[in-house]
Chain A
Amino acid sequence: MSIRHSLLALLSTEPMYGQQLKSEFEARTGDLWPLNVGQVYTTLNRLERDGLVEARPEADVALRPYTITVLGQAELATWFRAVPGDEPPPRDELVMKVMLAASVDPLGAADVIQSHRRQTLEAMHRFTRLKALEGATVATLMMCDAELFRLEASVRWLDSVDARLRAGARLTPAAPALPSDPAPAASTAASASTRGRRRSGARR
């Protein structure tokens, strides 16, 4: 989330001062992303330094209106069209957990998957309640939808992992049979026990 570009977007409609930018930002993101006014002023200072906004020279900082510069307009136009910063795929913690659980214990992973499925649905329920509230703004509906589609994607992914594991998919390659496994003379007890565990896991 770029606060920098969000402020530029707001200033492209009309000049605004700090507190006004804060409330406009929150209203337009359905009040799901609160912003503190300190962050707003820090960001405005940097934008001014980079020549993307200009401050009118009013004495009272709190009432000083900012305007976007031509350079700022160009920067904003580029940002709207640029690929979001989190591409390629982020290291989603849920994905990591499930992948690791499934590789450690493919059958036991069903419990881990169900636990995430339940918790994801609980989160989806909270956003749905917010949508159902009397007087929810269009911005709130859109922001909730964004979260709901994202969470739904997680549930669908969990379902597909579940189905693959139920169909017998394995993440770890089957361990080679012992006779063809030339045990080096210097093989330690630790590595032998690791191999034993992998084999028993694969047989289950």
Chain B
Amino acid sequence: MTGPVRLVLDRVSRSFGAGPTTVHALREVSLAVTAGEFVAVMGPSGSGKSTMLTIAGGLDRPTSGRVLVDGIEVAGLSRTELAALRRGRLGYVFQSFNLLPALTAAENVRLPLELDGVRRRAAHTRALAQLEAVGLGHRADHFPDDLSGGEQQRVAIARALVAEGALILADEPTGALDSVNGEAVMRSLRQACDRGAAAVVVTHDAQLAAWADRVVFLRDGRVVDQTDISPVVPDLLTSGPR
């Protein structure tokens, strides 16, 4: 990986509560994600995955350690600066989808572009292409309430993917999807990263994690392991008929 570093977690710890009942959700977690990189995070329930992602997205603050997005230390930002950062560069996909009910699917997806100053026509075209990529081209004019859970989830993903070069943070983004649609979402994420975005995706699904360049394993609030994947596709044709 040679691109610029988009996200740095530097010895990030987060604990909840005090005294003997303190929960250490994260313990000195360090992670660097470069442009073009797609990272999956796996680990048992309660291992700190969501906490790590909310801290990376500036939605929660670490007890100790530093978080940098595009070289900017998130802890030093005011509330409005943080909001601007999230709008412009960060695509955060929540476990609940946070779609605006009064806007159609396409309007929801193009919103971050419009807030960022992209002309409506151009924003709309890009929103439609992104909806198409997650298999929802035919639902562009529907309102969130008229969409199934899985469709709403894909709209939320399209919204996170629509900004070029975004840093996408997604917590179980394929939770409500069947395997074919889950794969379509991972393909879109893969392609967005190939075009220069970066993504950190929490998933318990190994087939989806296999789309990432790297899998980071969390356990009891620590990074305990990660995959080591060489950039060549090794020869799969060695085993022969069994």
Interface stretch of the complex, out of B8-16, B49-57, B81-89, B205-213? B205-213
| Interface check A156, CB cutoff 8 A | yes
B158 within 8 Å of A by Cβ?
no
Check if A114 sits within 8 Å of B224, measured CB to CB: yes
Interface SS of B by simple majority: loop
Is A48 on the interface with B (CB-CB < 8 A)?
no
Is there an interface contact between A152 and B229, defined as CB atoms closer than 8 Å? no
A3 and B241 contact, Cβ closer than 8 Å, known pairs A121-B210, A121-B227: yes
Please tell me if the beta carbons of A126 and B237 are within 8 angstroms of each other in the complex: no
Q: Which of B187, B229, B241 has the most CB of A within 10 A?
A: B241
**Chain B contacts of A129 at CB under 8 A?**
233
Which residues on B sit within 8 Å (CB–CB) of A35?
A: 240-241
Instruction: Given the known inter-chain contacts A1-B242, A130-B233, please indicate yes or no for A152 contacting B227, CB distance below 8 A.
Output: no
Given A34-B240, A126-B234, A148:B207 Cβ within 8 A: yes
In the complex, are the beta carbons of B209 and A121 less than 8 A apart? yes
A118 and B227 form a contact (CB under 8 A): yes
Does A122 sit at the interface, judged by CB under 8 A? Answer: yes
| Contacting residues of chain A (95-149) with chain B, CB-CB under 8 angstroms | 114-115, 117-118, 120-122, 124-130, 132-133, 148-149
Q: Counting chain B CB atoms within 10 Å of each CB, which of A121, A126, A152 scores highest?
A: A121
Determine whether A161 belongs to the interface, using a CB cutoff of 8 Å to chain B.
Answer: no
Label chain A's interface by main secondary structure.
helix
Is B178's CB within 8 Å of the partner chain A? no
Find chain B residues with CB under 8 A from A3 CB.
Answer: 241
By beta carbon, the residue of chain A nearest B224 is A114
Which residues from B are CB-within-8-Å of A130?
A: 233, 236
Known pairs A125-B227, A126-B233, A129-B233; A152 contacts B207 (CB<8 A) = yes
B71 an interface residue at 8 Å Cβ cutoff? no
Contact with A along B199-242 (1 / 0, CB 8 A): 00000011101111001010100001111110001101101111
> Within 8 Å CB of B239, what residues of A?
33
A31–B226 Cα distance when bound, in Å, is 30
Q: Check if A32 sits within 8 Å of B224, measured CB to CB.
A: no
B205 nearest CB across to chain A (Å): 8
User: What separation, in Å, do the CA atoms of A124 and B205 have in the docked complex?
Assistant: 12
Residues of A within 8 A of B240 (CB): 33-35
Chain B residues, Cβ within 8 Å of A125: 210, 212, 215, 227, 229
Contacts of B207 in A (CB 8 A): 124, 128, 148-149, 152
A residues near B (Cβ < 8 Å) are 1, 3, 31-35, 114-115, 117-118, 120-122, 124-130, 132-133, 148-149, 151-152, 155-156, 159, 162-163, 166
Between-chain CB contacts (< 8 Å), 16 pairs: A1-B241, A33-B239, A33-B241, A35-B241, A117-B217, A121-B206, A122-B229, A124-B210, A125-B210, A125-B215, A125-B229, A126-B236, A128-B207, A128-B211, A129-B233, A132-B190
